[in-house]
Chains A and B, each alone.
Chain A
Amino acid sequence: MSSTEPTDDAPLYEAREPIFPKRISGKFRNLKWILMALMLGIYYITPWIRWDRGPALPDQAVLLDLANRRFFFFGLEIWPHEFYFVAGLLIMAGLGLFLFTSALGRVWCGYACPQTVWTDLFILVERWVEGDRNNRIRLHRQKWNAEKIRKNLTKWTLWLLIGLATGGAWVFYFTDAPTLLGDLFTGDASPIAYTTIAVATATTFAFGGFAREQMCIYACPWPRIQAAMMDEDTITIAYREWRGEPRGKLHKGQVPEGQGDCIDCQACFNVCPMGIDIRNGQQLECITCGLCIDACDEIMDRIGKPRGLVGYMALKDEASERAGNKVVNIWKHVLRPRTLVYFTLWAGFGIALVVALFLRSPLDFNVTPNRDPLYVMQGDGTIRNIYTMRIRNKHGEEVTYRISATTPDGEADPSLTLSLEGQEGDTVTVPADQLYNQRLYLEAAPQSDLATTKRTDIDIWVEQVGGEVPVRDSVGTVFNGKE
């Protein structure tokens, strides 16, 4: 493979070589079927789960209401100013990926990635229509005739339907699903919904049907990033070369003397959805889906050799296994300082988020002192400070709040009077599911300490009027006086 003269005729671009994964059954295949059913089920069913939140709020359990900037997740409702909860979940997802990758390698790619799951589903459809590997290869190579056209059209139609269902399900997360389903059929849904469905259908069709492994190899950044997070302790799929080589064919049903366990049957290659030969070692194409393990184990069973010629192992163990030592339990690799650190961080974020969620005050408001001007001098020398309050009523019905001001010790200051713009007295009623801006005035009597001190800390209290349990909370702010 080496020459000293440059070869100018080397191809710069190459066509995709089609891959025809063979059907296989086994432990990992079964795991993949279960996970596929589970994940597709979650994806398709979630928007249809109902959750009662009262008459003013939507009853969809999971709803990303972009138009009204609300995120509903079962009992949880997140408003834009609490987006850090979502950021926290994303950080957890990131750390979770670090954890899984450092422990189990590209397990995400092999089992959970939507590209893998939908490609798997598309290959399943392809197999139903065209038959297993050899039939598909034959069909691929034969000239276009009625059979080939019929089978391809059937296959593409089924793929399109799956794509449509995929894109269709996606939009249900953003609006009330039953209403939208009706609107989609009557043509009343928004153009955005139709466009989204069209784009998601087209991408599902193209990525699952035709691009497949090309997405993983050329388009996806994750494989490269994940490669950087793996080390010699990471569990990955490998061919036990020391056991398999020199490979050779069976003779009279037996592995000849001096030959390794690999009988060069190509089973591992035939089932690979990425079209690689695991016996060539670690390759960037490998998504560690485990199908080659199933394929090889089946062959080993048949020729009476121990399973695990291809299997999950840590690269570190290669030398020790080659020397004839026992296979190390994978938990010894999974539980190591690095993964424990990732786990601790991940769990720490999770606990912090849950705690933050429970510590969330049922009263959600803030108070901003007006800085232009800092204070207003009234005719009689009274000093008025103006504040903007933002009260968020997250309830499904209107709520009345009573507002008061105290010193930081919680004592009422007799020189301080409170009034609310446009409201009678000290209460304000906020309609259901609304952010309400209330202008608040505090007045300090002429020559009082508050009026003559440049800056005094005070607390603004909000109390929910009515309700079964008294709910009350305060925020600190300042009162500016004329020195």
Chain B
Amino acid sequence: MSKKPTTKKEVQTTGHSWDGIEELNTPLPRWWLWTFYACIVWGIAYSIAMPAWPIFASGATPGLLGSSTRANVEKEIERFSAMNKAVEDKLVATELTEIGNDPELVAYTTNAGGAVFRTWCAQCHGSGAGGNKGFPSLIDDDWLFGGTIEQIYLDVQHGIRDPLDPDTNYAAGMPAHLDDGLLESAQIDEVVQYVRQISGQDADAEMAAAGSEIFAEWCVACHGEDAKGMQDLGAPNLTDAIWLYGGDVETLTTTIRHGRAGVMPSWSYGTTEGTSRLSEVQIRAVSAYVHSLGGGE
């Protein structure tokens, strides 16, 4: 050591001076420069190893390591499918009525069935399953075809009046009484008043009395003598507070004049031969989910 260590760092300037104000030169640390170079090298290596450079109309360079986020997602989905395999097998093997007693299956159907519902069913029945005009609520105690889990399962499986599925529920539906010449317009008005009367709404008593006879002749075959409907035929109860299309005079008149025949797709049949819209697991899961929303019988 020839020279004693300097304790005071020499302050360097760049030599630039403006109005007597000098620009200090405080050099960056050299490792910082190396880090910078290392980042450049890393960047080049990364763009070779990983998908990086866009190629017109055909994605990007695949990279030497063959990494792909799409493949990663597929792998993740596969991994989760494998994790769900056991519970899904159990779901298929379990009696429909027993699903609600198994906490593991309840957890699965609540989540997976809920996902199926929100994807495929919510468009018509609403995200909360509350229904819309013409699309029944699934959370009340009034069911067109029945609210047991077996019936729900059957309806999801084969749909209502789906021409693609030979096993679909071909309930005849409400005839168009005016269009088909079954009833006169005036008779229909009387029946409307009668239906309003038995459902506890304001009605013209005289017209209703006349309507009751027409009802007994034309309507009881499907809606029953007591007008409480028949689930085998999908004929609704006319005495309760729930209306699929509406209980007001105008809507009732339209319904009786022109008829009604709502449809629901068959979920075990696809639009082409041999395919299915939903798997057996999905159909069971969504059936259990719907059954657990409060309306299930």
Residues of A within 8 A of B (CB): 1-7, 10-16, 137, 211, 214, 218, 266, 269, 277, 279-280, 370-373, 376-381, 384, 386, 421-422, 437, 439, 441, 446
CB neighbours of B27 from chain A (8 A): 10-14
CB–CB B1/A372 < 8 A: no
CB–CB A378/B140 < 8 A: yes
Residues of B within 8 A of A (CB): 1, 4-5, 7-8, 10-17, 22, 25, 27-33, 100, 106, 110, 126-128, 130, 137, 139-142, 237, 240-242, 292-295
Most buried by A among B7, B22, B30, B127: B7
CB–CB B14/A379 < 8 A: no
Give 12 new A-B contacts, CB below 8 A, not counting A376-B295, A379-B141.
A3-B13, A4-B17, A6-B14, A6-B15, A13-B29, A14-B30, A266-B7, A371-B128, A376-B137, A379-B237, A384-B139, A439-B293
What secondary structure prevails in chain A residues at the interface with B? loop
Q: Which of B14, B130, B242 contacts A10 (CB 8 A)?
A: B14
CB neighbours of B17 from chain A (8 A): 2-4
CB–CB A13/B30 < 8 A: yes
Nearest-neighbor residue (CB-CB) of B200 within chain A: A381
Given the complex of chains A and B, what is the CA–CA distance between A211 and B7 in angstroms? Answer: 21
CB neighbours of A384 from chain B (8 A): 139-140, 294
A270 to chain B, nearest CB (A): 9
Given A269-B7, A377-B242, A379-B142, A13:B292 Cβ within 8 A: no
A402 to chain B, nearest CB (A): 20
CB–CB A10/B29 < 8 A: no
Nearest-neighbor residue (CB-CB) of A280 within chain B: B8
CB neighbours of B30 from chain A (8 A): 13-16
CB–CB B11/A373 < 8 A: no
Given the complex of chains A and B, what is the CA–CA distance between A122 and B25 in angstroms? Answer: 32
Given A12-B27, A379-B237, A373:B7 Cβ within 8 A: no
B5 to chain A, nearest CB (A): 7
Given the complex of chains A and B, what is the CA–CA distance between A10 and B15 in angstroms? Answer: 9
Q: Which of B31, B33, B127, B139 contacts A376 (CB 8 A)?
A: B139
Given A279-B7, A372-B130, A12:B28 Cβ within 8 A: yes
CB neighbours of A12 from chain B (8 A): 27-28
CB–CB B22/A378 < 8 A: no
CB–CB A386/B139 < 8 A: yes
CB–CB A4/B241 < 8 A: no
Nearest-neighbor residue (CB-CB) of A214 within chain B: B29
Given A218-B32, A376-B130, A381:B15 Cβ within 8 A: no
Nearest-neighbor residue (CB-CB) of A446 within chain B: B241
CB–CB A377/B241 < 8 A: yes
A325 to chain B, nearest CB (A): 29
Given A13-B33, A218-B29, A380-B241, A373:B5 Cβ within 8 A: no
B188 to chain A, nearest CB (A): 25
CB neighbours of A3 from chain B (8 A): 13, 15, 17
Q: Which of A7, A371, A379, A421 contacts B15 (CB 8 A)?
A: A7
CB neighbours of B13 from chain A (8 A): 1-3, 7, 10
B150 to chain A, nearest CB (A): 18
Nearest-neighbor residue (CB-CB) of B1 within chain A: A137
Q: Which of B4, B5, B294 contacts A421 (CB 8 A)?
A: B294
CB–CB A439/B140 < 8 A: no
Given the complex of chains A and B, what is the CA–CA distance between A4 and B17 in angstroms? Answer: 6
Nearest-neighbor residue (CB-CB) of B131 within chain A: A373
B237 to chain A, nearest CB (A): 7
Q: Which of B1, B14, B31, B295 contacts A7 (CB 8 A)?
A: B14
Nearest-neighbor residue (CB-CB) of A383 within chain B: B241
Given the complex of chains A and B, what is the CA–CA distance between A11 and B142 in angstroms? Answer: 86
Given A4-B17, A13-B28, A379:B5 Cβ within 8 A: no
- Lowest 10 A-B CB distances belong to which pairs? A372-B128, A373-B130, A379-B240, A277-B7, A6-B15, A14-B27, A7-B15, A381-B241, A269-B7, A379-B142
CB neighbours of A7 from chain B (8 A): 13-15
B278 to chain A, nearest CB (A): 23
Most buried by B among A16, A370, A377, A441: A377
CB–CB A373/B126 < 8 A: yes
Nearest-neighbor residue (CB-CB) of A10 within chain B: B25
Given the complex of chains A and B, what is the CA–CA distance between A78 and B1 in angstroms? Answer: 60
CB neighbours of A10 from chain B (8 A): 12-15, 25, 27
CB–CB A439/B292 < 8 A: yes
Given the complex of chains A and B, what is the CA–CA distance between A427 and B28 in angstroms? Answer: 69
Nearest-neighbor residue (CB-CB) of B296 within chain A: A421
A109 to chain B, nearest CB (A): 19
Most buried by B among A6, A16, A137: A6
Most buried by B among A16, A379, A386, A437: A379
CB neighbours of B126 from chain A (8 A): 372-373
CB neighbours of B293 from chain A (8 A): 386, 421, 439
Given the complex of chains A and B, what is the CA–CA distance between A381 and B127 in angstroms? Answer: 23
Given A11-B27, A13-B29, A137-B1, A372:B127 Cβ within 8 A: yes
Given the complex of chains A and B, what is the CA–CA distance between A3 and B130 in angstroms? Answer: 84
B134 to chain A, nearest CB (A): 15
CB neighbours of A378 from chain B (8 A): 140-142, 241-242
CB–CB A6/B7 < 8 A: no
